[in-house]
């Protein structure tokens, strides 16, 4: 059995991309996170210690997306997964969707995104 905590639409500015422009000019990234864990105990105890503090998870995600520039959003999403799985022992797995809504390309489109699912 797996329960889920959803964190939707986390907006963070970062400098990820292959072009020099993307490394110099901050751009918006949007992260959705699904955290898979057993929430039965937290549901009974009403104690934050029996779940994952999503405020802290959001801070961790912001450090990664707002941190060291990467060429690929795939790498940024993978970094998020690795850090969260390493830090939060209650996590059984997670799904990270990382969107780059306005990449600097000539064509008009709704942006680029990657979605990575990892389990213990």
Hey, which residues are catalytic here? 100
User: What span, in angstroms and rounded, lies between the C-alpha atoms of 39 and 107?
Assistant: 44
User: What span, in angstroms and rounded, lies between the C-alpha atoms of 8 and 14?
Assistant: 18
The dihedral sign for the CA sequence 110, 9, 58, 98: negative
User: What span, in angstroms and rounded, lies between the C-alpha atoms of 70 and 17?
Assistant: 6
DSSP state of 102: S
């Amino acid at each position: 059995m797996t329960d889920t905590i959803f964190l939707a639409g986390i907006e963070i500015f970062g400098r990820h991309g292959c072009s020099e422009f993307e490394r110099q000019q901050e751009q918006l990234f949007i992260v959705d996170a699904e955290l898979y864990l057993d929430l039965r105990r937290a549901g009974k105890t009403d104690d934050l210690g029996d779940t994952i503090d999503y405020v802290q998870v959001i801070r961790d995600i912001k450090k990664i997306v707002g941190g060291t520039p990467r060429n690929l959003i795939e790498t940024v999403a993978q970094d998020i997964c690795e850090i969260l799985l390493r830090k939060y022992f209650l996590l059984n797995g997670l799904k990270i969707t990382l969107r780059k809504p306005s990449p600097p390309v000539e064509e008009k489109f709704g942006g680029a995104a990657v979605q990575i699912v990892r389990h213990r």
